[in-house]
Structure 1
Amino acid sequence: MTQDDAHRGAPDPTPSTGGEAPRQPAHPPLPSYGAHGSTGAGATAGHGAPGQPGYGAPPGYGSQPGYGVPPPYGQPAYGPPPGYGVPGYGPPPGYGYPRPTNTLAILSLVMAFVFSPVGLVLGIVARRQIRQTGEQGDGLALAGIIIGGIATALAVLAFLFLFLALASVGSVDFAP
């Protein structure tokens, strides 16, 4: 049995006893599929019939363009392309982490609606801290001062009006 017959699943030819050569099946030989040493014009050395087209080696694509020396083992192979800034100097101005908002500034605005004198005091303390630390929230503290001041003034006026109203009712004589 030949190699081609084994691939085709053909039965093993029976040897004859008369000394004659074994009989080959009537199948044409298999074409060469890029076997070592084959050419595109035809197969050689029992890999197909001459003149029958073989598939040969795949076309070469050449080498990839060079991107410089690869980095040593253990270093990352990525980074900014050349000409995109010098590493180590940080982002340009305007970028980066935002400054935190002062907590007392937030509390001053909330407390201005809940208990206005506390909102007024917290707003004043928050603005003083913001000037020293450079945090955000100056507008919140200012709003807490304004709303807390107005609400405190209204509460004081309401208390005085109530006190004067009760005092005037107490001095009224109901006797005929």
Structure 2
Amino acid sequence: MGKTGVLLATITTTALLSGCHAFEAVCPAIGQVPGVAVTVAAGYSPQVKTLRLLACQDGQCKEDTLHLMPGSVTVDQGCTDGSRPDGVCSATAKPDGTRHGLLQLETLSESPIDVTASGRYANGKQMPTRTLRFEPRTSYPFGEQCARVVSASVVLDAAGLRQDR
């Protein structure tokens, strides 16, 4: 067998053997905090002084007063030289008037969850109690070969509670 035959045999063997090997997918080692995330809408957040959340799922309930943090949006500040692959780009956070909180749970499954929000307005008056039953969302942000992500998030505004998109 000449050089061409040996080369052809090597390429064929390599192609056949590599086709039989199952390559592992690389998945990020990112942990997820199980809980219900709450966004208080921008037009409503100045009125809310305290927010208490009760979440019940699969016979387990948890209730707590949330620590509300100011929300923000990302503002693109452009690139120094967008035509070059090594150009420098930047962004900054700009307050958007919302406030965010999280009620951390022991576990979060795909089953329906009941959420009740209550609290006090900035003027000291009791807020109306709002309830919502919804199914948490499931996604595979890193591909179906990686772990699924279950998330539960709601928005609170003057009209009440609704599931966040």
TM-score normalised by the shorter chain: which range applies?
A: under 0.3
TM-score normalized by the length of structure 2: 0.15
Q: Which has the higher contact order (CA 8 A, sep 6+)?
A: 2
User: Of the two, which has the highest radius of gyration?
Assistant: 1
Which has more helix, going by share of residues? 1
Which has more strand, going by share of residues? 2
